[in-house]
Amino acid sequence: MHQHPAADLPPRSPLRDLSRPGGAQKEPSAPTGWRVLRVASVWKRFGPADGSAPWVLRDVTLDFEAGSFTCIVGPSGSGKTTLLNLLAGFDAPTRGVIALDDVAIRGAARDRAVIFQDVSNALFPWLTAVENVEFGLRMQALPRPVCRERALSHLALVGLDRDCEKFPYQLSGGMKQRVQIARALANDPSILLMDEPFVALDAITRRDLQEELVRVWAKTRKTVVFITHDLIEALLLGTRVVVIGADGAIQGDFAVPLPTPRSPSDLEFMRLYDALQGILETVVRRAKRGAKVNDTDRSSVETSPKRRRP
């Protein structure tokens, strides 16, 4: 991976806290020595170089503090997966900078692991679960005993220690996704990038994996960026929710102060859901008129008691 100093990065912006009337401001602190991922004034479009193609992302500026769990929500086509690909280094911004510890990122690297939603093609079918987890470690030329020990410990972390010798065809969709998570963690990345990893799973399996992911995150304190269409999922998992509008611009950035584990039936959870649901409805409504959600819209939906609840 080639890295370059990131010049003129803007100051980090505080988060709105939905737990406080009026959206009081606060900023989470990063543990000393941990890595901070920053997105500075990023624009992205695909197509001809003449500038005729529409923007997929518009002036996106975000900080992902070390140890945070950020969920990114928004309508289909809003650029969520495009942003994740930029964070992974699979693609480059048309304008702007993405930096890790204020050093611009150029390309993929082991410090950022991606977990995909397509579990059917995520694993090597001719390798067992433990061999799939070992694969990346062996590519680093680590001793075989070290690879095996690390692979087994991470499979145990996600609850698959008894299934480590099974092949992918012997695993359920949820178990395959656990292998993906174990494989990513075994390489000890600073950041986990997750692109709707549970969207294809049934409701019961999805809820089990959501709880498992929160448990693993609490133990490892990896920085997680999680893409989802599901607002309930975002509030169950995240310490923070970022809303992207249909135009690819950031429409909201909110701290989620609830302790874990969380339940959609908790009163505070429902209040936060009501507030964010109102904001999303406003985003969709205003996007049709080419406008951006403003602070008046936010304050009105945060105090409204009549929003639909999960």
Cβ atoms within 10 Å of 143's Cβ, excluding its own: 10
Residues 6+ apart with CB under 8 A from 179: 123, 129, 132, 133, 155, 158, 160, 168, 171
Q: Of 79-93, 110-124, 279-293, where does mean pLDDT reach its minimum?
A: 279-293
Domain ranges of the chain: 124-188
Query: Residue 250's pLDDT is what?
Result: 93
Beta bridge partners of 50: none
Query: Residue 24's pLDDT is what?
Result: 35
Query: Residue 7's pLDDT is what?
Result: 43
pLDDT tens track for 10-21: 444 445 545 443
Question: Which comes out higher in pLDDT, residue 274 or 26?
Answer: 274
**pLDDT at position 304 over 80:** no
| Per-residue confidence band for 8, with pLDDT thresholds at 50, 70 and 90 | very low
Residue 93, classed as helix, strand or coil, is coil
pLDDT tens track for 217-255: 999 999 999 999 899 999 999 999 999 988 899 998 999
Average pLDDT, the chain: 83
Region 121-148 average pLDDT: 94
Q: How far apart are CA 144 and CA 34, in angstroms?
A: 29
pTM for the structure as a whole: 0.81
Region 140-149 average pLDDT: 94
Q: Of 53-62, 130-139, 150-159, 290-299, where does mean pLDDT reach its minimum?
A: 290-299
Region 260-284 average pLDDT: 88
Query: Residue 200's pLDDT is what?
Result: 84
Q: What is the amino acid identity at position 210?
A: Q
